[in-house]
Amino acid sequence: MSVRIGGSRQSRVSFAPGDTTPQVFMAMKRRFTPTARQLNFLIPIGLLALGYALYLRYLAVEQAWVGLSCQAGLATWLCFARQIVITLFKHSVFGSIAVVVAAANLFRPSLALFSIGMVAAAFGIVLYNIGGSGIAIGLLILSFARPVRETG
């Protein structure tokens, strides 16, 4: 019996020594798990998205003086970002994008889809689109159980 963990090599497994029954072929496929180098990319991206979402929520959207200043005609990037976030929240864009990308990542796992889904889910959780973003996080976790597509 030869089995290589994490590889895609086929091996024969016999049920008992000297057994003449047909051999069973097992194929172990590599699961979608980010490598250490990929995690060095994913962790900062996730933390930056979470930090910026927290910044927008607590320092731009919920502050009364920022809302009053922006409604009075203040033209800064903060007012522009605040208006965009409020518009996207009203239409549940963060949760919708997170669910769509996480579902695509569940069917065909890739690092790019995972990172986009993670960023959209982080924005959605912090910026009031909890339902869709929670489902997306569940789908992203389930994508770790999927086999990755073999290349070459």
What HEC string does 46-89 produce? HHHHHHHHHHHHHHHHCCHHHHHHHHCCCCCHHHHHHHHHHHHH
Query: What are residue 25's phi and psi, to 5 degrees?
Result: -100, 130
94-152, pLDDT tens digit by residue?
999 999 999 999 998 899 999 999 999 999 999 989 999 999 999 999 998 888 766 65
Residue 28, pLDDT score: 55
* Entry pTM: 0.76
Residue 24, pLDDT score: 45
44-76, pLDDT tens digit by residue?
999 999 999 999 999 999 999 999 999 999 999
